Amino acid sequence: MAARLTGTDISMTGAQFRLRDTASRGAFGVVCALMMLVLTAFSLAGCDSAEPAGRSQGAIEVTDMRGRTVRIEAPVKKIAIDDSRYLVALSLIADDPVSLLAAWAHDDNRLGSDAYQKFALTAPRLDDLPRIASSAENFDVESIIAARPDVAVLSVESGVTEAQIERVEAAGIPVLVLDFFADPMENLEPSLLILGRLTGKRC
């Protein structure tokens, strides 16, 4: 019998988020299920260990989903994200994904009310974090700069322009464009690997 993806939800065990099968929630649920499958593959390959606490990786180079090669000091401690669904990806590689956030788009409608409430219940500071734009149309360089992230992780779907990226990078903040939802079959695995490298996971 063929395996069937049933969608996902976020549950809590102690301080660690994990994904579990639930009734289907459409494309978002399928992508989350794919994330879990990729994470399982990484674990089986021995890719789930982190750098020892306090050890600096130094500068790394990663190529984002636009083919841009970006040099970043890793591991990063604070990330700005322009898509709340990236919290799900971060929850796969960090016990406390909210602690990694410098700013986010406060677009909890993308994440879904149930999932958002579980993140917010565990980390009430989520609502107090700085807000950044979730699309190129209302992109605000100043809000990203003010949040002082180590890196800005922007979504392919936001449509951010190269000129907007250059303005952020001119302020000394590296920018990566990742993709978990526009083309998950092609981009989910490399995007998750990049997040892992940024935060000190080895693979």
Q: Domains plus CATH for the chain?
A: 52-198 (3.40.50.1980)
Q: What average pLDDT does range 56-64 have in this prediction?
A: 89
Which two tokens mark 37?
Answer: 């499958």
pLDDT at 165 over 90: yes
Are 16 and 93 spatial neighbours (Cβ–Cβ below 8 Å)? no
How far, in Å, CA of 188 to CA of 200, rounded? Answer: 18
Is 80 exceeded by the pLDDT of residue 199?
A: yes
Host H or E run for residue 122: helix 113-122
Confidence of residue 33 (pLDDT cuts 50, 70, 90): low
Asked if 6 and 19 count as a contact pair (C-beta separation under 8 A), the reply is no
- Per-residue pLDDT at 114: 86
Residue indicated by tokens 């800005």: 152
* Predicted local confidence at residue 110, as pLDDT: 87
3 pLDDT above the threshold of 90 = no
Residue 15 binned pLDDT confidence (cut-offs 50, 70, 90): very low
Indicate whether 22 pLDDT > 70.
Answer: no
Pairing type for strands 16-21 and 151-155 reads unpaired
Q: How many angstroms separate the CA atoms of 145 and 172, rounded?
A: 9
C-alpha distances in angstroms, 104 versus 86, 98, 144, 149?
10, 10, 9, 11
Q: Find the mean pLDDT for residues 166-173.
A: 98
Span 18-44, mean pLDDT?
47
DSSP 52: P
